[in-house]
Amino acid sequence: MDARALIEEFNAAWSRGDLAAMSGCLAEDVSYCPNAWDGPAGTVRGRAAVVAVLAGQSGSGEGPALGAVWATDDRAVCEWAWPPAEDGTVLRGLDVYRVRDGRIVAKDVFGKITS
């Protein structure tokens, strides 16, 4: 599976809240580094730990709109944006992925709040 198809599969599982399918897209040694919009960024390592964090962020309900996936070789990028907050600001950003052997080995999140 190429990087783009893998990330699209992961995003679809994330949108459904399908933890088993998300887990299947991740390498055992995956690392996840979310953005630091609410404090210092920390890196989560290992499939089980990453899935546990993602469990609280995924699924039905109001979440970010996921954009197109751009990929080449072992790298992929996906834009996203949360619905506007009460003050009109929007949290938007990019997920940057690294892929190895058909699995995600790194997911780094970069975001900013815009008005």
Closest CA to 80 of 70, 65, 69, 90: 65
Mean pLDDT of the region 52-78: 86
Is it the case that residue 76 has pLDDT exceeding 70? yes
Q: How many residues does the chain have?
A: 115
DSSP reduced 3-state for 35: coil
Beta carbons within 10 angstroms of residue 110's beta carbon: 14
Q: Is the model's pLDDT at 38 over the cut of 60?
A: no
Domain boundaries, the chain: 3-114
Q: What is the mean pLDDT of residues 69-92?
A: 93
45 CB contacts (<8 Å, ≥6 apart)?
Answer: 29, 30, 31, 32
What burial class does residue 35 get, using C-beta atoms within 10 Å of its C-beta: 0-12 exposed, 13-18 middle, 19+ buried?
Answer: middle
Q: Any idea which residue has 């080995």 for tokens?
A: 105
For 3-114, the fitting CATH number among 3.40.50.740, 3.40.50.300, 3.40.50.620, 3.10.450.50 is 3.10.450.50
